[in-house]
Every structure is written in C-alpha cells, then in structure tokens.
Amino acid sequence: MAVWPSFWMLVTDVLWPNSGEIDIIEAVNNLDSNQYALQTTSGCFLGTNSIQSGSILRTNCSTAAGCVVQEKKPNSFGSGFAQANGGVFATQLDVSGIYMWFWPVKTVDRTGDMFN
C-alpha cells in the first residue's frame, strides 16, 4: 500500500501533458520533505541559476516527472510536518516566474504575517 498526498494546479479544459501542472505539495510514502514540480509542454527547463533554498532534482519540465525541487526543511512533509503542527505553503504565479514557499507553523504569527 502507498500514500501520495498532493495539491496540484491544472488547466481545467485541457489535461496534462497538453497544458501544464504545478505541484505545490507532493511526496510519496515516507518522504520527510515536500517536492515542488512543474510539468509543461516541450522546451521548458528550470534554470540552473535559479535563486532558491531547495535542491534541484530535475531540470526538464517537459518530462512526465517535470522539473522538481526538493524542499530542504524536514518538517515540510510526513511525520516532521505533523510534529510541527503543520505549516503554510504559498505559490505566486508571475510574468517573471513561478515562486513557491513553505513556512513551518511556528514561524507564522496569529495575523498571518511571516517572520524570521
């Protein structure tokens, strides 16, 4: 038996791979950190000069797995996520790119503002 919790964004009138998919939350079984992914049509690649804190696992966004970035925070998924009482995921779609973040719940104050 396997577990595959996820939260994806898809185009509603055309299914992947003819459109695109953004995986905001995705991991399988006993992984302890989240994986962000982007799956697109041919010719899209994740730039190796991207400024990010995650680890780049795949750079070709047009494959079945897409371009994948592994979150480095061990409490972004699995038992660490549960023990930390959850967290906040955010995604920004912008003309300059797609941006994704994760904050453990202890770094979010009651007004929803993020702090260090």
Question: Which are the catalytic amino acids?
Answer: 21, 26
- Strand ranges for 1-116 from DSSP E: 6-10, 21-26, 35-39, 55-58, 67-70, 87-94, 97-104
3-state secondary structure (DSSP) of residue 56: strand
